[in-house]
Structure 1
Amino acid sequence: MDIRHIKEFAVLAEVQNYLEASDLLFISQSSLSKHIKALEAELGAPLFDRSTRHVRLNEAGAVFLEFARQVVALQYQTATRIRTMTSQRAYALTIGSIPVMAPYGILDAIAAFRRENADFSVSLIEGDAKALKDALRRNECELAFIRDDGEDDPTFSKIPFAQDALAAVLPATHALVGRKTVRLTELAQEDFMLLSPGSLLHELSVKACEDAGFEPKVVFTGQRAENILDLVSQGMGVGLLMRKAAKRLVRDRVAIIEVVPPVTTFVKIYYRSDQQLSPTARHFIDSVIVNQTITSSRSEA
């Protein structure tokens, strides 16, 4: 049984999407499909229930996944140990990231990699999406965690990492507090506080309101979500922020309620399409896989 095929199965089981899994594994979709079919033939049973775009584990796949994760972890640990024993030099990796790191597990992923690879030097730079893309182009970092804007830019390849969804931030005394979800139309008469114009989240928030049939009355914009939360807590209006990020910064006297229909964003690991990743960068991606910090774009935010 080919260990590579077992690793590919484990990744596909996590992300439930052939395109995302093939990007994460640096192979073509056709190769991934061929390898999975070969693995199923060897085991004598299908492992997935397939639809046109997505795949889900069946009962046999769920059982095999328990063993596959152990094999993948052992392979990664072995590669790490051998590299540490035989290396005569320190490996260096520079990673870029959006400022909001903790809610998405970015810091956890980097810390786990450093714990497992004591001889690796990891530098972290912070910036908005545009600055990080420019840093990748200038080779100032090799990987970058960026909130995806949906643009089809051939300059970059992207690996799914985490997701989040837009949420309404309301004063604790608001009449809608206590609800699990809220429609933006129910907030049409409110004063809105948003992140700065030009930011992806500002554009998403305004578009979501316009799609709901109204133009938001924006009374405050700023670069820091903490200020929006504080103003909301003082009854100055309502805010629109990403749910995970807002929950991490939550203040007293505010409530965070999911918006429906959902407006979802994805944090992805970007790298340049025209350059082959270094062994160190690929080892970092393997660490992400092994530590299961990867999040399917179809999973719950």
Structure 2
Amino acid sequence: MELRQLEYFVAVAETRSFTRAAERVHISQSGVSAQIRQLERELGAELFDRSARAARLTAAGRAALGPARAALAAAGAVGRAVEEVTGLVRGRLTVGMVAGCTLTPLFEALAAFHAAHPGVAVELLEDGSDRLLDRVRDGSLDLALAGTATAAPEGLEAMTVVSEPIVAAVPPGHPLAARGRIRLRDLDGLPVACMPAGTGLRAVFDEACAARGARPAVVVQAGAADALADLAARGLGVAVLTASMAERHRDRLTALPIADATAPALLALVWRSPASPAVREALRCCRRAFAVEPRPAPAG
């Protein structure tokens, strides 16, 4: 008795047709018929009543169907168990990262993953956040660190690693510099330096402005926070940054909280579900590196 014979038997039982079963298992009808005849000889009983137009199970066939399905399920489980192991012995993990974003914990996590699973090649690519999310969705990336405006990007699983308010950063002597905080409308009529569309920070800023009816003029765009800070320090625009980005330039810029921009800019690890063994292991390393507690399993 062979697994393929059981597979053909279940296919005929479920489709009630030798022809449709052959299409399902991608062999000829005569091949299916021959293998089931062989199975019937080995079992000593006919499994189908062939006198009707549809292939109907005999009493022996009905008795055999449950165990046949269980045998196929068990064989599949064996294959998956081996795949769980070999997937972490050899293979490839492709990780995306926001261009210009240097987060030491991510590199520490990837180093820990590589040390534990040296047979898995790790590939790290940079791109804009929107494109990273799309590439995780289409499967060309296994995992990505991307800026987002929401904690759960559509169609993806996510683990937030950074959540910060956005601020306006200006040099000393700027008209806004003496204020303790500002509102979005205070930026109307002023040149603004911000990250380009497609980034998480820009999405948060644009959504906040739309909600408050503010219309600042984004006249300078750059994908790197340091570039925005340099431009702002030279008076080319009010830089819209996260609090930690601005903090790195506190010697030349004043960070002003934006009172009515309440939604934080998020940086999250995103992946598709179900996650592969390599992605699950990489996420475990990331949780340790970023000190993120695993989410509890949903009740029920």
If the TM-score is normalised by the length of the shorter chain, which range does it land in? 0.5 to 0.7
Matches within 5 A, 1:288-299: 288-294=286-292
Cα 1:141/1:229, change in 2 over 3 Å: same
Q: Please say if 1:253 is aligned against 2:252.
A: yes
SS at match of 2:218: strand
Matched with 1:226 is 226
How many Å separate the matches in 1 of 2:267 and 2:87?
A: 33
SS at match of 1:182: coil
How many Å separate the matches in 1 of 2:267 and 2:121?
A: 24
Cα RMSD of the aligned pairs, angstroms, is: 3.6
Question: Does the CA-based 8 Å contact 2:114-2:122 persist in structure 1?
Answer: yes
Matches within 5 A, 1:147-158: 147-150=147-150, 155-158=155-158
Aligned partner of 1:278 among 261, 265, 276: 276
Q: Please say if 1:123 is aligned against 2:94.
A: no
Question: Does the CA-based 8 Å contact 1:136-1:271 persist in structure 2?
Answer: yes
Greater Cα offset, 220-229 or 160-169: 220-229
User: How far does residue 234 in structure 1 lie from its aligned partner after superposition?
Assistant: 1.6
Give the residue type in structure 1 aligned to 2:287.
I
Cα 1:111/1:257, change in 2 over 3 Å: farther
Cα 1:237/1:271, change in 2 over 3 Å: closer
Give the residue type in structure 2 aligned to 1:217.
A
Question: Does the CA-based 8 Å contact 1:168-1:238 persist in structure 2?
Answer: yes
Matched with 1:172 is 172
Question: Does the CA-based 8 Å contact 1:135-1:141 persist in structure 2?
Answer: yes
Greater Cα offset, 103-112 or 165-174: 103-112
How many Å separate the matches in 1 of 2:258 and 2:160?
A: 23
SS at match of 1:260: coil
Matched with 1:44 is none
Question: Does the CA-based 8 Å contact 1:233-1:252 persist in structure 2?
Answer: no
Question: Does the CA-based 8 Å contact 2:93-2:123 persist in structure 1?
Answer: yes
User: How far does residue 154 in structure 1 lie from its aligned partner after superposition?
Assistant: 5.4
How many Å separate the matches in 1 of 2:94 and 2:168?
A: 35
Question: Does the CA-based 8 Å contact 1:206-1:216 persist in structure 2?
Answer: no
How many Å separate the matches in 2 of 1:101 and 1:189?
A: 30
SS at match of 1:253: coil
What stretches of structure 1 of length at least 5 have no aligned partner?
Answer: 1-82
From the CA coordinates, give the structure whose radius of gyration is larger: 2
Matched with 1:237 is 237
Q: How many residues are treated as equivalent by the alignment?
A: 211
Identity of aligned residues (%): 23
Matches within 5 A, 1:179-198: 181-198=181-198
**TM-score, normalised by the number of residues in structure 2:** 0.57
How many Å separate the matches in 1 of 2:219 and 2:279?
A: 43
SS at match of 1:140: coil
Question: Does the CA-based 8 Å contact 1:193-1:239 persist in structure 2?
Answer: yes
User: How far does residue 166 in structure 1 lie from its aligned partner after superposition?
Assistant: 0.9
User: How far does residue 93 in structure 1 lie from its aligned partner after superposition?
Assistant: 1.6
Give the residue type in structure 2 aligned to 1:254.
L
User: How far does residue 125 in structure 1 lie from its aligned partner after superposition?
Assistant: 1.4
Question: Does the CA-based 8 Å contact 2:137-2:156 persist in structure 1?
Answer: no
SS at match of 1:102: coil
Question: Does the CA-based 8 Å contact 2:89-2:118 persist in structure 1?
Answer: no
Q: 1:132-180 CA distances to partner (integer Å, 9 max, x unpaired)?
A: 2332244322111222243976532222322222111111223543665
How many Å separate the matches in 1 of 2:175 and 2:104?
A: 30
**TM-score, normalised by the number of residues in structure 1:** 0.57
Greater Cα offset, 229-238 or 254-263: 254-263
Matched with 1:110 is 110
How many Å separate the matches in 1 of 2:176 and 2:153?
A: 40
Matches within 5 A, 1:61-80: none
